[in-house]
Every structure is written in C-alpha cells, then in structure tokens.
Structure 1
Amino acid sequence: MIRSIKKVAVLGSGVMGSRIACHFAGIGVQVLLLDMLAKGAETSTKPAERNKLVNDALQAAIKSNPSPVFTKEVVKRITTGNFEDNLKEIAHCDWIIEVVVERLDIKQQLYEKVEQFRKPGTLITSNTSGIPIHLMAEGRSEDFKKHFCGSHFFNPPRYLWLLEIIPTPHTSRDVVDFLLHYGDLFLGKTTVLCKDTPAFIANRIGVFGIMSIFHIMDQMQLGIDEIDALTGPLIGRPKSATFRTADVVGIDTLVKVARGVAENCPADEARAVFNIPAWLDTMVTNNWLGDKTGQGFFKKVQSAGSKEILTLNLHTMEYGPRARPRFASLDAAKPIDDLKQRLAMLVAAPDKAGEFYRAFHYSLFSYISFRIPEISDELYRLDDAMKAGFGWEVGAFESWDVLGVAKTVAAMKAAGHQPAPWIEEMLAGGATSFYKVENGKRLYYDVNSKTYQPLPGGEAFLILNNHRDQLVWKNSACRLYDIGDGVAGFEWSSKMNSIGGEVLEGLNKAIGIAEEKFKGLVIANESANFSAGANVGMIFMLAIEQEYDELDMAIRLFQNSMMRVRYSAVPVVTAPHGLTLGGGCEMNLHADKVCAAAETYIGLVELGVGLIPGGGGTKEFALRAADEMHEDEPETITLKNRFFNVATAKVATSAFEAFEMGILRKGHDEVVMNTSRRINEARKSVIEAYEQGYITPVQRKDIKVLGRSVLGALYAGINGMWRGNYATDHDVVVAKKLAYVMCGGDLSEQSLVSEQYLLDLEREAFLSLCGEKKTLERIQSVLKTGKPIRN
C-alpha cells in the first residue's frame, strides 16, 4: 500500500514523548500528544485542568535548552489531550507512538485501549529502550501485530540521529521498510534495523564500552578527569566523553541497562564486564544519579561567587577540584587534525595513555565481533548506530580498519582478547578490511556471503571522500572531485573549516575547472561544521602590522570570490551543515541555490569581533532588503530587520529559522532533513539547473538604497540600544558603519546603485574597523580563547 504520514499520535508526554512530538511537528506533521488525566481533575469539566499534565510537560519541553523545535511556530501543530477524553481521536492518526513508563503491564493495558479506537492498517510502535518488543504485542489482534514494532528514538530526538527499528516475527516487511525509509527521508534519522535483543544495538555496544572503561580504569588506577580527557574529542567521541555522558544520561539508567544485559544475555562471553563496580553501587544508593539529582561523577557548587565543577574521587567518594591530566602522547596528538592518523598514533603510544587505548580498543573489537550475528547480521549497522546514537565520529569496525585488522588481531590475541571466528575466516579468505571503496561506492564485508556488498542508500548518501579516486585538482587545503553525472564537488579542510587565501584560491580554481569541464559545482564538506568563517588570524596579523594594502587585497579577493560564486558560467550549489558563520554564510548567500541540512546554524557574526561582513554579506543583505520593499509597508521595516540581525550577530538555530531571517530564500533554497543526503540533493539541483538551460545572472545595478532618510533612524536605534546597555561604545561604532553601508552611504535621497558600489563601501568600512584598537582586542580574544570580549 502507498502510505503517508499526515497525523501522528504520541502517547506519553514525558521527556521523550514531548520531544518526539516536537520533532514531528517540526517537519510539518500534525501531532496529537496524549497523557494521563491530571491528578485531582477527575470531576473537572475544564479541558485546561484535565490536560494540565500533558500541557505542563509540553511547555517544559519547549522551554528546554537545546530547543526541541526548529522554530516556535511549529508548536501550533501539536494538539494535547488525555487518555480518558481523547484516546478515541487516534482513529484519525496514521502512526501511533507509545512512549509511556517502562513497565510491560502498563504498556499492554494501554494497547488494549488503543485497539478499541485504532483503525486497521495504522502503524503502532513503541519507544521502549529495554522491554522485548515481542512481549508487548502478546494478546493483540493480527492486524495490530502486523503493524507493530519498536521505534527507539534517542534523546534529544531532534539532535541525535539514531532511530532503531525493531520488528517482531509478526511485523510486516512492508511496515519495516516504510519506517526505515520514512525515518531517513522525513525525520532526518540514521535508521538502523535491529534484532529484538536486550538493549538493541547502540545501548548494547555503548554501555559495554562505558562498563569496559570502568573496569580498565580500576585496573590501571586512573581517575575520572584522566578518563574523560582520554575518551573525548581526541578520539572522535563527544565532549561529554565517558563520565559526563553518564551524568547526562543518568547513572541509574546506565546501571539498569548494564544489569539488564547481564541478566538477560547468559551467553554473552563478556557478561562479567556488565558487573557493577562497588563504587557505582554506592552512587546509586546515595542517589548521586547525575544531572537529574544535582550530582553524580561531577558536582557543580558555588565558590567565591562563581560556579565550580568538582570531580568525584572514586576511592574516597568525596568531591574535589578537577585535575588537569598530563599524558605526553595526548599533547603530541592534539596538533594532528586528521582523526584517523591521530587515533593510530594514540593506540601505538608507549605511555600509560597508549596502554589504556590498547586495552579499551582490544576489548571493544572483541566484543563487537561476537555481536555478529547476535544483534545484527550486518556489521555496518553497529557502526551506524554508534555514530548516530552516541556521537562517535568513526564506528568501531571503522576504527579497527584504521588500526589495521590483521595487525590488531595479532596484538589482541597477545593481550588475551580473542576475536570471533568469522574474523579469522575473513582474513584467511583474503579480505583485509571491513570497508572499502570502489568506483565511488562504499562497500562493507558481508559475513554471511563472505563478499563485499554496497552499503544501502549509496546513491542518496553521496560522500565526497568516497570519490578520492576521482580527484580532479587539489592544493594543500582544498580538493575538487568528479562526483558523477557531470558534476564537480569542492571541499576544503582547515581548522574549523575557516576560509583563508588557499581556500579562496581553491574556490576560484574549482569554479574555473567546473566552467570548462562540468555541468556545475557543489560546495560542501563532511567536517563537523561547514565553516566558522574567514581566517581572522590572517586579518589580525595584517592589521596589527598595519599592512593595509595587503589587507585591502585580501578583502577584495574574498569579495571577488563570492561574486565569482554568484556569477559563474555554471550553477554553483552549496550544501551547508552545522556552524556556517561569517564568511561561510556569505558563500551561501551568493550561491545559485542552498541545500541546507536542517541542523544548520547560519549567520553573519562579524559584529562580535568588531567588524562588519566584508565578503559581500553586507551588500547582499542591502540588496535583498531592497528587493523585498513594497508599497504595503514602510520601506524601512525590511531594512531595519536585516540590519538588526547583523548588528546583533544573530545566528539561525536551524535552517528553518534561516528562512525567517532572510538568509535562505523561500521558494528557492531547500532544507534537507537528513544531513547525509544534502550533498546528493545539491548535485541533483546542479543537474536540474543545467538541464533547464542555466544562464549566468547579470550583475545588479538597480539596487534601491535609502540614504540619510533611513540612516538617521538606524542611528537612533543604535543609540537606544547603547542607552539601554544592550550595546557597548565600540558596538555603536561598528553598528553605525554597518548602517552606513546598508543605507548606501550618506546620500541625500533614495538612489539606485550597483553591487560594486555597495562592495566598495563595505570594504572601506571593514578596513577602517581593522584599524580600531578595540576591534583588534576582540579578534585577539577569539584567537586565544575562542570567544570575543565585550569591550
């Protein structure tokens, strides 16, 4: 059957239920959010009183940080109610998601009521993280069982990409296929098919990893701060590392999952790893459960008027100041940008850190090898689950490839860690890695067939790195690939993907090659962020040395490069994601089209470092404001709105909000829910523009600027912010420069000007601000601490 999801019912409004509801509302789906009748409201006839429980839960979710919604407007799509009055309304829903308390009897009681109102064929899933899925369906009708399975979201559902789909023996294959596809395409998730085994995939592997670290830590006499230094971003794991993650998740939850595996997996060869250390039992007894109780492995206290974070000493069970770990190998590895090179170096290190890494990775590799085929028939699903659910940059099998499979197996055996027999068979059969790339397609080793098979979704999930064999051109910072269908793909790599001279050289070269040999160009990358902006270190160096001619040339190069993006002979499409700030935002402002990941945080933030957007961003906002002016409103409103977005360095918290801010263009640019699909969508857009007969736009000479009539109003607004202590003296200086450019200068009347006219004003203002002492102080602060001072 052809199935579409127009309305979803979420049963249970707790932390997960309310946020799942918000995520569905965010993608445009109508949501019915239900929970129990509020206590004490049994005799009330007022919906507000009867629905107090669910309404309070939804409001708490909306106010939480990070926000579960893309924009505040989406909340209008959520209707609330209670199980007694409104359960009958699920008859009009296409998908029912149960998210009530983790008790089998309560879930089964609710399902019995659901069957009274659910229309046949409606999807019904549970968000359980621990109860066997097949047990929940017992006693239900054949149609219920056929359309029932587990759909395990990870918290927070907007930001963690994993959605585990867990069918029962009764679940229709069509239902499973639909959920895998819908979760990927519409919810933006990495959808992973799981077997109905305890803790499924991500929690089974993730909790094993944490418990393994606990035991290794005890053996090696390492402390909490040392472990978190070893297991954070340095090896491609989240900043929360091990112990901070446990505090966020909840130590009681961690213990519950560990005990569940130990009790329900008698054949698990590493079952002893899930035994709870004595100090962990003590923490549970003391109710030191992490963030939910105010203390866990860490405790935040007030000290001398400021907040201080203390660390738990697991020997004395007392809190003390955090310690700064010292490992020679960590200091040596930090300058290495490439994660895979860094990981190989750390595991081979001769110090105590290297000893820890070897012990941890060998135990992890052994464990994942034995989980095939117990929890999954395909090894890539384990990697997908850990990357999407626990934020690992590389999966466990991918890490094993990095370290060398055969080499590591020999080291593992010598250290007493045995791999599963199929690993030996794989190596004996001549397969030396779990993944490989052929003709731009990534393949994985299939244990059942003992052959390499293409990863599903390979066409939709275009990965630039898979096209390294189709490299067209490169310099030390940039690479240009042939990504198929006559389209070129351009990426660069630098710290935070900042944009400097080499990147601009590469961009111009890439456009030139694309104009000569390709249908068009996609600009994208697979780093954590699209770009944190221009290379402010270079700007600071030239400004501090008063090399203003060099600085002028650098700004001209940036502006000309952005204009080259706009006025190339072939379509140029960008695919941003993550932080897309300053110069990175300007690049997108000038593209023919933007295919932005939903989680794109984009904005012009130069005011924070005492500058104005100098790569065409100020010009572009003035141009767009002019195009948006119409007779039905005062001409100044649009310009003022755009001015204050830049003057306050506002950053869109999602691609959807970027439309509201005028950074993305409604009816032109698009949002791609699944960030893994954005590059392929950008390629499609290039081909579409080419096939429609792409014509290079003509540079604008008809931009309406308002001159001093509006300049005075903007100056008044700036002074008002200063008087209200919302702006410092230097903020006023910078904001007035911005206003001057966006109004087209101190013109006596409205005029039509060219893009180049505005670019010249923009560049002159930028240069003058580079000579300001307070601007240089702000840039220096960013370079030293990552944050600007407010001077």
Structure 2
Amino acid sequence: MKRTIKKVAVLGSGVMGSRIACHFAGTGVQVLLLDIVPKEAVESTKPAERNKIVNDALQAAIKSSPSPVYHKNVVKNITTGNFDDNLPQIAQYDWVIEVVVERLDIKQSLYQKVEQYRKPGALITSNTSGIPIHMLSEGRSEDFKKHFCGTHFFNPPRYLRLLEIIPTKDTDQEVVDFLMHYGDLFLGKTTVLAKDTPAFIANRIGVFGIMSIFNSMEKLGLSIDEVEALTGPLIGRPKSATFRTADVVGIDTLVNVAKGVGANCPNDEAKAVFAIPTWLEKLVENKWLGDKTGQGFFKKTKGAGGEKEILVLNLQTLEYEARKKPKFASVETAKPIDSLKQRLKLLVAGQDKAAEFLRHFHYALFSYISHRIPEISDELYRLDDAMEAGFGWEIGAFESWDVLGVADTVNKMETAGYTVAEWVKDMLHSGINTFYKVEAGKRLYYDMATKAYKPLPGGESFIILNNYKEKTVWKNGNASLFDIGDGVAALQWNTKMNTIGGEVLEAVNKSIALAEEKFKGLVIANDGANFSAGANVGMIFMFAVEQEYDELDMAIRQFQNTMMRVRYSSVPVVVAPHGLTLGGGCEMNLHADKICASAETYIGLVELGVGLIPGGGGTKEFTLRAADEMHEDEPETITLKNRFLSIATAKVATSAHEGFEMGILRKGHDEVIMNQARRIAEAKRSVIELYDSGYQTPIQRKDVKVLGRSALGALYAGINGMWRANYATDHDALVARKLAYVMCGGDLSEQSLVSEQYLLDLEREAFLSLSGERKTLERIQGVLKTGRPVRN
C-alpha cells in the first residue's frame, strides 16, 4: 500500500517523548502530544490545568540546550492534550508512537485504550529500550499486531542519528520496509534493523563496552581520568568518552541495562562482564546518578575563588578530588597523527599500560561482536551503523578490526585468552581477510550466511567520497578530486578542521578547470566531521606578524578570486555542507550555484569574532543580496541593516533551516537534506539537473545598489550606541565601522550602482587594514592557542 505520514501522535511527554514530538514537528508533520492528567486536576474542567504535565514538558524541551527543534516556528506544528480528553483524536493520525514509563503493565493498559480509537492500518510503535517488543502487543488484535513494532530513538532525537527498527514475528514486512525508508529519508536517521533481543543492538554492544572497560581498569589499576583520556577522541569516540557518557545517560540506567542483559541473556558467553561492581552499586545507593542528580563520576563545584571546577570520583575512596591530566608515552607518540586508522595501529602496538589497556579493550570488543552475529543481527554492518549513529563512534567495531588486521588480531586475541566466533575463523580459512572492501566506489561487507561479499544497501543514495580513491582524477597534499560517476566530479580536502589554505584554494581552482574540461559539473563536500571551520587564520597571523602585507594581499586576492571562480565557472558547482560551515566555508557556499545542506549545518560569517570582516567575498555577497532584497514598502536601510547585523554579531545558524532565515540559503533554490549521509548524492543529482537544464554561466554584476553616506551615518550611529552602552568594545566598534563602510559602498555622496569587483576591492582593503591592528592579532592568537578569541 502507498503510505504517507501527515499526522503523528506521541503518547508520553517525558524527556524522550517531548523531544521526539519536536523532531517530527521539525520535519513538517502535525504532532499531537499527550500525557496524563495531574492528580490535582482530575476534577478540573480547565484545559490549562488538565494539560499542565504535557505543556510543562514541552516548554522544558523547547528551552533546553541544545535545541530539539531546527527552527522555533516548528513548535506551532505541535498540539498538546491528555489521555482522558484527547485520546479519541488519534483516530485521525497515521502513526501513534508510545513513549510512556518503562513498565509492561502501563504500556499494555494504554494499548488497550489506543485500540479503541486507532484507525485500521495506522502505524503503532513503541520507543521502549528495555521491554521485549513481542510482549507489548500480546492480547491485541491482528491488525494492531501487523502494524506494531519497536522504533527506538536515541536521546537527543534530533542529534543522535540512530533509529532502531525492531519488528515482531507478527509485524507486516511492508511496515518494516516503510519505517526503514521513512526514518532514513524524512527523519534523517541511520535506520538499523534489529532483532527483538535484550537491549537490541546499540545498547547491547555499548553497555558491554562500558562494563568491559570497568573490568579492565580495575585489573590494570587505572583512574577515571586515565580511562577518559584513552577512550575518547584518541580512538575515534566522543569527547564524553566512558564515564562522562555514563553521567549523561544516567548511572542507574546503565546499571539497569547491564542487569537486564545479565538476567535475560543466559547464553551470553560474556555474561560475567555485566555483573555490577560493588563501587557502582554504591553510587546507585548514594543516588549519585550523574547529571540528573548533580553528581556521579564527576561533580561540578566552585573553587576558592568562585570559579567553576569539575571534580572526579576516586573509585577506591569514593571521594571527589581534583582532576589530573594523565601522561602515557604511547599516547604522546600517537596523538599528533591525524589519521585515526594509523593512530589506532600505533596505540595498540605500544608497550606501556595505556597500550595494554587498549589491546584488552579491543580484544574484548571484537570477541563480543563476533558472538553477537547472528544473535542480534544477521548482518555485521548493522552493528557498526548502530554504534556510529547511536554512540558517536567515528568508525564501527568491525571496521576497527579491519584496521588492526583481522587474522593477526585473532591470533593475538586467542593467545590473550579471548574467544572468537567460528564464522570469523571460517571466513579467514576461506581466504577472506577483511569484513569490508571497496570496489568501484561501492562498499561491500562480508555476509556470514552466503560466505561472500555483498554491497551495502543504499547504492547511489549514499556516496562516501573516501570510497572513490581509485577514481582519483587529481590531488595535492591536502585535497583530492574524484570521478563519482555520471559525468560528475567531487572535491574534498582534509586539513585540520577542514580549514581553507593555499593548497585548498589551488584544489578548488584546479577542480573547476578540470570539471569545465571533462565533466558536467562539480560537487564540493567531504566525509569529515565538519565542512569547514573557515580560512586558515594561522597563515593570516603569520603574514601579519611578519608584516608581509604584500603576501597577505595576494592571499586575500586568491581567496576572493577563487570564490568568484566558484560563482562564474562554466559548469554548475554545488556545495554539500554539514556541521561547522564558518567564515570562508560559508563564503564558498554563498558563491555556489546551489547548496545541498545537511539539516545539521551550523553556518555563518564569524570573522568579526577575530577582529576581521569576511574577506573572501562574504561581505560583498551580503551587500549584493541586501541590494536585491530592497523594495519600496520599507526603508532601504532596513534590509542592509539586517545583513550588517548578521555579520557584525558573528551570527551562526543553528541549523540549515535557520540558514534560510539569515539569507545564507535561498528559499526555493537551495535544499535541506534531512539525512546527512544523502547530501553528496543529492548534490550530484543537482549538478546533473542543472547541467541537463542548459546551465549557463552567470554574468558578473555591475548593478549592485549601494546606499553610500546616508546609510553609513545610520549604521555608524547604531555602532556608537552599542559602544556607549558597553555592548561593544573599542575594537568591536572599529571593526564594525570598517564593515559598515564596505557594505555602504564607501563614503559616497549618493546612492550608486557599483560592480562586484568594486565591493571586493573595498572588502580586501578593510581586511588588510584590520590585519595590522594589534587587538585583531591578539584575537587571532587567542583562537590559535585556545580555540576561542579573546574579548579586547
């Protein structure tokens, strides 16, 4: 059947329910959010009193940080109510999601009521993380069971991309297929098909990993600070590492899941790992449960001088103490290596206690995942997908095993006393030595059932540029141009935070030249954590400190000319940003023919923060767009002022949707891609579409309306007011005046039409003059040292 989702009812408005409701609202569907009537309002007839629980929960969610919504306006898509008065309304809804307390009797009681009103064929799913899915639907009708399954979102639903789909034996296959597709395309999720086993996939593997770490650290005598240093970004895991993750999730939740696996998985060969250590039981007993109670493995406090301080728990004494920065020789050697895969090899090969811990950490993990196939999933890639999307792992466990060498690691594991599932040994005996391989740009995985490689699902919908290395057309030290098929080329670069320096600019120019010669067009994107943190400010700082202003002038010209090359190439250039897209990264997007942005794109012109103005065409482009937006119904300065303030306040959109509001993305032209993994494929499709529709090179503008002295006076007055009210420092005011001067076209006596190049020249001159300011250099130095500009 053809199924569409226009209305979703969410039953339960707790932390998960309210945020699931917000995420659905952000995708444009109508949401009904219901919860119980407060005990004190049972006799009341006032909706405000009867809906107090749900309304308070929704307001708390909206005010929480990070925001659960892409844009504040989406909240209007949510209607609230209560189970007693509003449950009959679900008869109009296409999908009902239950997110109430984790008790089987309460859930089944609610389902009994739901079945009275739910329309036949409507989806009904549960967000449970601990109750077997098949038990929830016991006693329900055949139609209910056919359309029922688990849909396990991870918290926070907007940001954690995992959605586990858990069918029962009664779930219709059409329902499973629909949810897998809908979650991917419309909710932006990595949808993972899981079996109805305790803790499903991600929590089963994730909690094993944490409990295994607890065991290893006790044996090796490591502290919490030492384990945190070893199990975070160093090995491709989030900054929250192990113990901070436990504090965020809730130590009681961790213990409950571990106990649940221990009790419900009698045949788990590693069942003993899930036994709760005495010190962990003590934390639960003390109600030191993490963030929810204000202390857990870590505790925030105030030092003697009133400054904030984070203390760490000593597991031997169960007392909090000052944090200590650990030092390990193997870590100091490996840390400077940017490549995670190379770093892992070096770390595991070390000879100190850190290396020993990481060897046991990986051996235990590899052993465990090998035994979970086919128990929790028939396909190994689903385990990796779940851990990457649900726990923020940079690469999955089977991929890590490939990195360290499957055959070599198996030998070392067995010598160290770890068992390996027979199917892995069979794979190696058949001459297959890796779980994954890449052929013709497609990633394949080893399938245990057929004992052969199969392509990962997704095909053309998910383009991973690193899979196209054999299709490299051109490269330099920091960037590569790939042929991604169908006449489209794709450029990516790999620098620290994907900053843009000389080699990247060279790559952009070369890629456009090659695309004009041999391809239909060019995609600019990358597989990293962020699109780009902007221009390489270290290079700017070096030129300025050494007073190499001719060199700096050339560098700015090169940046501007490259952005204009993006705008005025003879083939379409489409950019696919995600994550941080700041400064020069934003300027590249502003000049592209089209933007295919991940919903989670944080984009803006932030140069004012380091005492500069956007110098790669960003100031020019905002001025040009302001001119095009001016109309007779409002004073011309209003539009210009709004654009000016976006730059002057270094405003960053907190989602691609906000990027439209800021005028960085263009309505009816640029696209938001819900699933980040699809953005490059969508950008490729857009290149082909633009080319096939008869793409023509735009004509450089010479008719940009600038307002001159009249608008300049108004902007200067506003800047002076901010300075007098102490909202701006002396240097803030100086930089803002330079920005205003450029955006008004200079001190012109009247409104004029100018060219893009005229504005670029003004922009470059202002940028150069600010580069020589001592306070600008102090700000840049602050960024280089600490990652944050100083306020001076």
TM norm structure 1: 1.00
| Matched residue type, 1:777 | E
2:582 is aligned with 1:613: no
2:22 is aligned with 1:25: no
| Matched residue type, 1:776 | L
Equivalent-residue separation in structure 2 for 1:538 and 1:398 (angstroms): 36
Which runs of structure 2 are paired with 1:62-81 in the superposition (5 Å)?
A: 62-81=62-81
> What SS does the aligned partner of 2:138 have?
coil
Partner of 1:339: 340
Partner of 1:140: 140
Partner of 1:719: 720
Equivalent-residue separation in structure 2 for 1:196 and 1:455 (angstroms): 22
Equivalent-residue separation in structure 2 for 1:506 and 1:769 (angstroms): 28
| Matched residue type, 1:146 | K
Equivalent-residue separation in structure 2 for 1:530 and 1:701 (angstroms): 31
Return the offset for 1:631.
Answer: 1.0
Gaps of 5+ in 2: none
Partner of 1:222: 222
Partner of 2:38: 38
Question: For residues 452-476 of structure 1, what are the alpha-carbon distances to aligned partners after superposition, in whole Å with 9 as ceiling and x for unaligned?
Answer: 0000002100110111110000000
2:779 is aligned with 1:775: no
Partner of 1:534: 535
Partner of 1:177: 177
> What SS does the aligned partner of 1:68 have?
coil
Return the offset for 1:636.
Answer: 1.1
Equivalent-residue separation in structure 2 for 1:267 and 1:540 (angstroms): 61
Partner of 2:92: 92
Equivalent-residue separation in structure 2 for 1:350 and 1:531 (angstroms): 37
2:441 is aligned with 1:430: no
2:580 is aligned with 1:579: yes
Equivalent-residue separation in structure 2 for 1:758 and 1:176 (angstroms): 55
| Matched residue type, 1:680 | A
Question: For residues 715-735 of structure 1, what are the alpha-carbon distances to aligned partners after superposition, in whole Å with 9 as ceiling and x for unaligned?
Answer: 111111112221111000000
Partner of 2:763: 762
Return the offset for 1:401.
Answer: 0.3
Partner of 2:545: 544
Question: For residues 524-563 of structure 1, what are the alpha-carbon distances to aligned partners after superposition, in whole Å with 9 as ceiling and x for unaligned?
Answer: 0011000000000000000001000000000000000000
Partner of 1:59: 59
| Matched residue type, 2:748 | L
Which runs of structure 2 are paired with 1:105-504 in the superposition (5 Å)?
A: 105-303=105-303, 304-504=305-505
Question: For residues 625-654 of structure 1, what are the alpha-carbon distances to aligned partners after superposition, in whole Å with 9 as ceiling and x for unaligned?
Answer: 000111111111111111001000000000
> What SS does the aligned partner of 2:480 have?
strand
| Matched residue type, 1:190 | T
Equivalent-residue separation in structure 2 for 1:458 and 1:156 (angstroms): 28
Question: For residues 282-323 of structure 1, what are the alpha-carbon distances to aligned partners after superposition, in whole Å with 9 as ceiling and x for unaligned?
Answer: 101110000000100000111121110000000000000001
Equivalent-residue separation in structure 1 for 2:662 and 2:481 (angstroms): 32
> What SS does the aligned partner of 1:43 have?
coil
Equivalent-residue separation in structure 2 for 1:249 and 1:620 (angstroms): 44
Return the offset for 1:329.
Answer: 1.2
| Matched residue type, 2:61 | A
Equivalent-residue separation in structure 2 for 1:248 and 1:37 (angstroms): 29
> What SS does the aligned partner of 1:573 have?
strand
Equivalent-residue separation in structure 2 for 1:587 and 1:85 (angstroms): 52
Which segment drifts farther, 105-114 or 711-720? 711-720
Equivalent-residue separation in structure 2 for 1:48 and 1:663 (angstroms): 40
Which runs of structure 2 are paired with 1:625-774 in the superposition (5 Å)?
A: 625-774=626-775
Partner of 1:566: 567
Equivalent-residue separation in structure 2 for 1:719 and 1:277 (angstroms): 62
Return the offset for 1:121.
Answer: 0.2
| Matched residue type, 1:124 | I
Equivalent-residue separation in structure 1 for 2:189 and 2:564 (angstroms): 35
Return the offset for 1:185.
Answer: 0.2
Gaps of 5+ in 1: none
2:786 is aligned with 1:785: yes
Question: For residues 159-209 of structure 1, what are the alpha-carbon distances to aligned partners after superposition, in whole Å with 9 as ceiling and x for unaligned?
Answer: 000000000000000000000000000000000000000000000000000
Equivalent-residue separation in structure 1 for 2:470 and 2:585 (angstroms): 27
| Matched residue type, 1:457 | G
Partner of 2:515: 514
| Paired residue total | 791
Return the offset for 1:486.
Answer: 0.4
Question: For residues 669-703 of structure 1, what are the alpha-carbon distances to aligned partners after superposition, in whole Å with 9 as ceiling and x for unaligned?
Answer: 00000000000000000000000010000000000
Return the offset for 1:357.
Answer: 0.6
> What SS does the aligned partner of 1:736 have?
helix
Question: For residues 345-388 of structure 1, what are the alpha-carbon distances to aligned partners after superposition, in whole Å with 9 as ceiling and x for unaligned?
Answer: 11111111110110010000000000000000000000000000
Return the offset for 1:38.
Answer: 2.1
Return the offset for 1:257.
Answer: 0.1
> What SS does the aligned partner of 2:461 have?
coil
> What SS does the aligned partner of 1:40 have?
helix
Which segment drifts farther, 205-214 or 721-730? 721-730
Equivalent-residue separation in structure 2 for 1:81 and 1:727 (angstroms): 45
Equivalent-residue separation in structure 2 for 1:639 and 1:45 (angstroms): 51
Return the offset for 1:39.
Answer: 2.5
| Matched residue type, 1:282 | K
Question: For residues 404-430 of structure 1, what are the alpha-carbon distances to aligned partners after superposition, in whole Å with 9 as ceiling and x for unaligned?
Answer: 000100110110111100000000111
Equivalent-residue separation in structure 2 for 1:643 and 1:410 (angstroms): 63
| Matched residue type, 2:96 | I
| Matched residue type, 2:201 | I
Q: Percent identity?
A: 78
> What SS does the aligned partner of 1:4 have?
coil
| Matched residue type, 1:81 | G
| Matched residue type, 1:544 | V
> What SS does the aligned partner of 2:41 have?
coil
Equivalent-residue separation in structure 2 for 1:452 and 1:754 (angstroms): 57
| Matched residue type, 1:697 | P
Equivalent-residue separation in structure 2 for 1:355 and 1:458 (angstroms): 39
Equivalent-residue separation in structure 2 for 1:580 and 1:28 (angstroms): 25
Equivalent-residue separation in structure 1 for 2:39 and 2:19 (angstroms): 22
Equivalent-residue separation in structure 2 for 1:403 and 1:724 (angstroms): 59
Equivalent-residue separation in structure 1 for 2:734 and 2:491 (angstroms): 37
Question: For residues 73-116 of structure 1, what are the alpha-carbon distances to aligned partners after superposition, in whole Å with 9 as ceiling and x for unaligned?
Answer: 00000000000000001011100000000000000000000001
> What SS does the aligned partner of 1:459 have?
helix
Equivalent-residue separation in structure 1 for 2:599 and 2:220 (angstroms): 43
Which segment drifts farther, 659-668 or 632-641? 632-641
Equivalent-residue separation in structure 1 for 2:202 and 2:700 (angstroms): 52
Equivalent-residue separation in structure 1 for 2:368 and 2:43 (angstroms): 55
